[in-house]
């Protein structure tokens, strides 16, 4: 069985960020969406160099992204809004792209086809909050995805879900994005729970 990528999203405290980066994490999400309660503001980003830095945004401008790519040394842009294929294509020449889609029972996966050039899709539970809802969508829905772009799964994943995730049989399932179900409070993750979850998922 292939090893799944693990992305830990939306940490906004320096000490917690450093501790999480000592674990077997592949990506860490830095939330630059101003309206989020997990917004990261004026902290030193101290992350191990082998971990990819993912900037999380909702309908940003190209100028904003260019600034963040430079200032935060981002490896990926995770775009959670209504960013057009043309906008994502333009940014893909400057940074790797994760395009997020909110999934519910009525979601049509064919709408992802215009974004097939991005590096990953992120399938999250549809919510007005653009993520971080702590709620799952029905993972059986993933069987409807027939695209070629690998995807990360998000939305309500908790410490108890490692075994269920390993049962997902989809050729493009690349990894998971964990957030609110691992929190002590918004922006602060429980290091022990994250560590145990990763060990169960990867070992």
Domain ranges of the chain: 5-177+187-202
pLDDT digits (tens, 9 = 90+) for 116-172: 999 999 999 998 765 556 689 999 999 999 999 999 999 999 999 999 999 999 999
At residue 12, the pLDDT reads: 93
At residue 1, the pLDDT reads: 55
pTM of the complete model: 0.94
- CB-based contacts of 56, cutoff 8 Å, min separation 6: 9, 10, 29, 30, 31, 32, 33, 36, 78, 80, 131
Q: Which CATH class is domain 5-177+187-202?
A: alpha beta
pLDDT digits (tens, 9 = 90+) for 4-39: 999 999 999 999 999 999 999 999 999 999 888 898
What is the set of active-site residues?
A: 9, 124
**Within 10 A of 196 (CB to CB), how many other CB atoms are there?**
14
81 SS3 class: coil
Q: How far apart are CA 83 and CA 125, in angstroms?
A: 18
Inter-residue contact 168 to 142 (CB < 8 Å)? yes
pLDDT digits (tens, 9 = 90+) for 72-87: 999 999 999 999 999 9
At residue 88, the pLDDT reads: 98
Q: What are phi and psi of 145, to 5 degrees?
A: -80, 120
Cα distances (angstroms) measured from residue 118 to each of 59, 138, 202: 16, 24, 25
């Amino acid at each position: 069985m292939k090893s799944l990528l693990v992305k830990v999203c939306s940490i906004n405290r320096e000490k917690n960020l450093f501790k999480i980066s000592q674990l077997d994490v592949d990506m860490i999400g830095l939330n630059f969406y101003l309206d989020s309660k997990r917004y990261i503001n004026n902290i030193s980003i101290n992350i191990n160099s082998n971990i990819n830095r993912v900037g999380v945004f909702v309908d940003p401008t190209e100028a904003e992204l260019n600034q963040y790519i430079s200032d935060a040394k981002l490896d990926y842009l995770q775009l959670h809004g209504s960013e057009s294929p043309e906008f994502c294509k333009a940014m893909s020449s400057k940074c790797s792209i994760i395009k997020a889609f909110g999934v519910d029972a009525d979601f049509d996966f064919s709408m992802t086809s215009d974004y097939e050039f991005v590096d990953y899709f992120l399938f999250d539970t549809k919510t007005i909050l653009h993520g971080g809802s702590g709620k799952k969508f029905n993972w059986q829905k993933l069987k409807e995805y027939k695209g070629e772009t690998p995807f990360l799964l998000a939305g309500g994943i908790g410490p108890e879900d490692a075994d269920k995730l390993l049962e997902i049989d989809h050729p493009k399932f690349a990894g998971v994005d964990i957030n609110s179900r691992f929190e002590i409070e918004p922006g602060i993750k429980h290091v022990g729970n994250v560590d145990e979850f990763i060990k169960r998922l990867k070992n």
